[in-house]
Amino acid sequence: MDDLKIAIAGVGTVGNGVLILLRKNRKKIEKKIGRKIKITAIASRKSRDFKGLKKTKIFSDANSFLNFSDYDLLLELIGGSDGVAKEIIIDALKKKKHVITANKALLSKHGNYILKLADSQNVLVGYEASVAGGIPIITVINNFLVSNTIKKISGILNGTSNYILSKMLETKKDFKTILNDAKAYGYAEADPSFDINGMDTAHKLSIMSSISFNNKIDFDKVFVSGIENIQYTDLKYADELGFKIKLLGITKIVKSKVMQFVYPALVNKESLLGKVDNVFNGIMIETDSSKKFFFQGEGAGALPTATSVLSDLERISLTNYSKKNYKNTGILAIKDYFKIDERYGSYYFRIKTFDVAGVIADISKILKKYNISIKSLYQKENAEKNYNEVDIVITTHNCEEKNVCKATNQINKLNSTKERVVIYRVEIT
C-alpha cells in the first residue's frame, strides 16, 4: 500500500510530542495501519535539527503549505482560532486532504464550517487532541457510545485551573501566589487567561456537547464563569462541608434544551470528579444504557496530547472513508439552549457580616421569601480573625437560580452584610 504522507504544521509542545512518539513507536503504528508513514513537510517557526528527516521539506512559515500538496494528512498543531491555522486547514480540505487538529479555540469558532467542508470533500477531520489531551473522549463519544444516547457529561477539562484549585487548598495560599507558582513550574502559560476565566473549558465543552447531542458547535451559547475570584476561605469551608471546588464543564439535555455550563462548583470530595486533583483531567459520562463511565488522565502535555493526535492518524488511516459512508458532522439540528437562570439545584452561600444580633434572622427571612430551603448553616469566626465580623456559610436544598439571584441582591443590601455574598453552585456528579 502507498505510504501515508503527513505534513506537520507547528512544532511547539504538541508537534514536538508527535515527532518524539513517531521516533519511539513508529514501527508499531506502521504495523497497525499497514503502511509506512512519511513526513513530507514540517512547518516550524524556530529552526531546529530534525534528526533523520532528510527528505522532509522544512518550512519556516506555515503559509507555505498553501503552495504544497504532497501529503495525505495535515496535522495542524499551531493553535489560535483564526489566522494561519484556519487558512491551512481550509486549504487542505479543499485539496481533499484529511486533517488532524488539536485546536479547540478554532473548532469552537469555525468547527461547523470545517466539518461541513470536510464532508463535502469526502475527507476526515480528527480532533481527539482538542479535548482533554490524553483522554480518548472524542472516540468514546463518537464511536464507542454509538449505540447509546448520551444523557450528561461533566468534566474537569482544564489542568491549569485544576492545579491552582488543588494547590490553593493544599498550601492555603491565595490565587495569585499559586498562579505565579504554576507559571514557574510550567503548569500555566505566560498568558493563562483562557485557563482561569473558563474559556478553554468552554471551548472543549462546546465540542463535546455538539458531538454528544448531534448539535451544532455553539460556543457562544456556553455560560462561562471562571476561577479568577476564588478565595482560599471558600475552598476551606467547602472542604469542611465535605466538598471540593472544581471548575466544571457540564452539558446535558434538560426539557429538550441543551445545557452548556462552565463554572466552579462544589462537588463531593469523595466522588470521582472530586478526587481529580492537580493537572489531571477527569470526565464522567451518563447514557441511557450505562451507569457512570469515568475517565481520568493527563489533560495536556506533549506526549499525552500527541498520543491523541496519533490515535486520530490511526483511525483516519484505517477508515473506509472513500465510500462516503462516514460523516464528520451530525444532524446539526438547531436546538434551544438551557439558560443559567433556569438552573434548579443546590447552592453554597458565604455571607460576611458584622457580628450583630438578628443577622441570621434577617438572612433566613429573605431565603424563606424566595423559597430557598436551608440544608446546612453555620457561623464561622471570620477567617482574618476580625472579631466583629463572622462568615455565615449556608448550603441549600434544590432551588431556583432566579430566586438565588433575587435573595442575594437583598442580602447584599442588608446593613449587616459587609461584602457581596459569595455564591457557588453545588453539583452532584
Angle between helices 159-171 and 232-240 (to 10 degrees): 80
* Selected binder of a second copy within 19, 100, 132, 145 (CB under 8 A): 145
Candidates 5, 109, 167, 204; catalytic one: 204
140 binds a second copy (CB under 8 A): yes
Determine whether 402 is an active site residue: no
295 binds a second copy (CB under 8 A): yes
Q: How many residues bind a second copy (CB under 8 A)?
A: 60
95 binds a second copy (CB under 8 A): no
Nearest distance from residue 138's CB to a second copy, in Å? Answer: 10
* 61, HSE (Cβ side, Cα atoms, 13 Å): 6
135 binds a second copy (CB under 8 A): yes
Neighbours of 357 (CB within 10 A): 7
Question: Interacting stretch for a second copy, rule CB under 8 A, among 71-79, 97-105, 145-153, 387-395?
Answer: 145-153
210 binds a second copy (CB under 8 A): no
User: What would the x/- binding string for a second copy be over residues 316 to 335, using CB under 8 A?
Assistant: --xxx-xxxxxx---x----
| C-alpha grid cell, residue 108 | 469552537
Q: Tell me how far apart the alpha carbons of residues 60 and 381 are, in angstroms, rounded to a whole number.
A: 60
315 binds a second copy (CB under 8 A): yes
The position carrying cell 459512508 is 325
Nearer Cβ to a second copy, position 165 or 276?
A: 276
Question: What is the distance in angstroms between the CA of the first residue and the CA of the last residue of the chain?
Answer: 47
* Selected binder of a second copy within 7, 11, 21, 273 (CB under 8 A): 21
Q: Tell me how far apart the alpha carbons of residues 368 and 377 are, in angstroms, rounded to a whole number.
A: 14
Question: At CA 104, angle to CA 99 and CA 107, rounded to 5?
Answer: 60
411 binds a second copy (CB under 8 A): no
Q: Tell me how far apart the alpha carbons of residues 297 and 127 are, in angstroms, rounded to a whole number.
A: 17
| C-alpha grid cell, residue 88 | 491551512
CA distances from 145 to 45, 155, 179, 194, 208 (A): 39, 17, 37, 30, 13
What does the binding site for a second copy look like in residue numbers (CB under 8 A)? 1, 20-22, 24-25, 28-29, 31-35, 134-136, 139-140, 142-149, 214, 272, 275, 287-298, 303-304, 306-308, 310-311, 314-315, 318-320, 322-327, 331
Active site residues: 204
